[in-house]
Amino acid sequence: MNEKTHGGWLKVVGLGPGAEALITPEVSVALAEATDVVGYVPYVERVAPRPGLVRHGSDNREEIRRAEAALQLAAEGHRVVVVSSGDPGVFAMAAALFEALEAGEAEWRALDIQVLPGISAMLAASARLGAPLGHDFCCINLSDNLKPRALIERRLRLAAEADFAMAFYNPRSRARPEGFERALEVLREACGPERLIMFARAVATPEESLRVTTLGEATAEMADMRTLVLVGSSQTRRIPRSTVGVPWVYTPRSVS
Amino acid sequence: MNEKTHGGWLKVVGLGPGAEALITPEVSVALAEATDVVGYVPYVERVAPRPGLVRHGSDNREEIRRAEAALQLAAEGHRVVVVSSGDPGVFAMAAALFEALEAGEAEWRALDIQVLPGISAMLAASARLGAPLGHDFCCINLSDNLKPRALIERRLRLAAEADFAMAFYNPRSRARPEGFERALEVLREACGPERLIMFARAVATPEESLRVTTLGEATAEMADMRTLVLVGSSQTRRIPRSTVGVPWVYTPRSVS
């Protein structure tokens, strides 16, 4: 009997947006105890190699097969960490894991599974900019890989009508760059050209860049695949800061 | 000249929902370097006393005065940490800090201010339950201290129409318990009685409790001031788990 047969577990963890200092101690302990790390190649590469640890990097859009492989390893007694960037529950591996669990082997349901939260890109970007999500907000994945574009536009319009601040993941895909162009049009129409929009690229990495502008001035090229986009509510305000290039942006707590 | 005159700074930090293992190293370093910790009494008490550290606990609903005091201390050269539970940018001290900064002394704008993100209650609760926020979602503060109740109801209806999963902060205030009762009615009307609702109380503390039910079965008494409430989208699903009392709950990544 393989010595790994007993004591297997699976933890779906968030590595945060980039900096080591944003990885929770809970996640660091899980990584130190793991026999296997599973995930999208660039996230797996954020975990340093060490003896006794096997790193299984796979391609993007392989989420379900990756989740199945992770569940199978845990069922065989491995201590498996599935890594996501940011938080695993926000447009990341946790949902894929439960999709695979529900559709998969009955015995997988008896596994010791945990989800360990992480600092999401949305919270990290918001912190760098001030407090743009300081009042009610919504969070939308702009990718049309997994949902119809009409639904995205509908949600944008309803979010504007509700006067939510908004956080957008995956604004631009290489395959369909016109999607974000269209999202900006819908937002301009619904919120007006003066509404604040923020582009937070590669937050908490050495390549971090921030831009604060208005919907009227924004162009689709301001976002790429590593950009988190935030749009303010009607109440969101700017304060010039003397120290950095971009102003502080915050959404007040109260609405009169 | 006071030796604190130079080198003052202010960091608005998130302590996460409760467990030490969810505090980021970045926040731990800030707390270790601080001369002053400022915040709501129970959060300030989460920071261990030590020589050289002054803990300034204040009452709830004192956010602006607390923020002004923190800015003033930093202007005098103190190294000030303003603590929030969860993430400081989600219904917490970051927005209050920028409100005070905008309205306050001109010299405060030259201060070294940073916001350090934390694990929000929403992300921690979602992780414990599985991945209920695995698709588009919104986050609403149900307290009517700072906004009209009509606006809350309007946002609930629009969020239901957009078919967002939803996270609710401050579901019940002692002063107005009927508010959450009314929110449940609006949601039942908009989403139907079968829609999943989750109550995550005191997540990541020794008093943690989780409940998964439907809007039809939910009552206002299931939430108190320490409860984070999540409502699924129309796609949100349950998977029974053999190990714990509550099922896994997740929202699939795709919509057909």
SS3 B136: coil
Under an 8 A CB cutoff, do B241 and A97 touch? no
pLDDT in tens, B153-165: 999 999 999 999 9
What one-letter code names the amino acid at A104? G
Residue B76: which residues within 8 A CB-CB, separation 6 or more? B2, B4, B5, B8
What one-letter code names the amino acid at A53? L
pLDDT at B139 over 70: yes
pLDDT in tens, B77-98: 999 999 999 999 999 999 999 9
- pLDDT given at position B176: 76
Q: How many angstroms separate the CA atoms of B119 and A122, rounded? A: 11
Helix pair A93-103, A63-75: axis angle to 10 deg: 70
pLDDT by 10s per residue, chain A, length 256: 344 456 899 999 999 999 999 999 999 999 999 999 999 999 999 999 999 999 999 988 889 999 999 999 999 999 999 999 999 999 999 999 999 999 999 999 999 999 999 999 999 999 999 999 999 999 999 998 889 999 999 999 999 999 999 999 999 877 777 899 999 999 999 999 999 999 999 999 999 999 999 999 999 999 999 999 999 999 999 999 876 689 999 999 988 6
DSSP class of B221: G
Q: How many angstroms separate the CA atoms of A255 and A244, rounded? A: 29
pLDDT in tens, B165-209: 999 999 987 777 789 999 999 999 999 999 999 999 999 999 999
pLDDT in tens, B19-43: 999 999 999 999 999 999 999 999 9
Task: Give me the residue from A87, A98, A132 closest to B130, CB to CB.
Answer: A98
Under an 8 A CB cutoff, do B138 and A141 touch? no
Angle at A16 between CA A55 and CA A42, to 5 degrees: 35
Tell me, yes or no, if A64 comes closer than 8 A to chain B by beta carbon.
no
CB B53 within 8 A of CB B62: no
Q: How many angstroms separate the CA atoms of B60 and B196, rounded? A: 32
The answer regarding whether domain B122-250 maps to CATH 3.30.950.10 reads: yes
Q: How many angstroms separate the CA atoms of B143 and A209, rounded? A: 35
Q: How many angstroms separate the CA atoms of B216 and B184, rounded? A: 9
Tell me, yes or no, if B50 comes closer than 8 A to chain A by beta carbon.
no
CB A197 within 8 A of CB A214: yes
Per-position b or e across B63-100, b if 16+ CB within 10 A of its CB: beebbbbbbbbbbebbbbbbbbbbbbbbbbbbbbbbbb
Got the DSSP string for A156-214? HHHHHHTT-EEEEE----SS-THHHHHHHHHHHHHH-TTSEEEEEESTTSTT-EEEEEE
Domain covering A9-119 in this structure, CATH number: 3.40.1010.10
Tell me, yes or no, if A147 comes closer than 8 A to chain B by beta carbon.
yes
* CB burial of residue B219 (10 Å; 0-12, 13-18, 19+): exposed
pLDDT at B4 over 80: no
ipTM value for the complex: 0.96
Which A residues in the span 25-44 are in contact with B, Cβ-Cβ below 8 Å?
A: 25-26, 29
Distances (CA, A) of B198 to A98, A117, B240: 17, 17, 15
Under an 8 A CB cutoff, do B254 and A147 touch? yes
Nearest C-alpha neighbor of A114 from the set A33, A1, A17, A2: A33
Q: How many angstroms separate the CA atoms of A213 and A217, rounded? A: 6
Residue B32: which residues within 8 A CB-CB, separation 6 or more? none
Task: Give me the residue from A21, A248, A254 closest to B98, CB to CB.
Answer: A248
A204's tokens: 């908490």
Q: Strand pairing partners for B9?
A: B79
Q: How far is B215 from chain A (nearest CA, A)?
A: 21
Q: How many angstroms separate the CA atoms of A238 and A233, rounded? A: 12
Q: How far is B216 from chain A (nearest CA, A)?
A: 25
Q: Residue A23: its chain B contacts at CB < 8 A?
A: 24-25
- pLDDT given at position A244: 65
- pLDDT given at position A2: 43
CA nearest A147 in B: which residue?
B255
Task: Give me the residue from A99, A127, A138 closest to B89, CB to CB.
Answer: A127
Domain with CATH 3.30.950.10 in chain B: 122-250
Angle at A233 between CA B89 and CA A242, to 5 degrees: 60
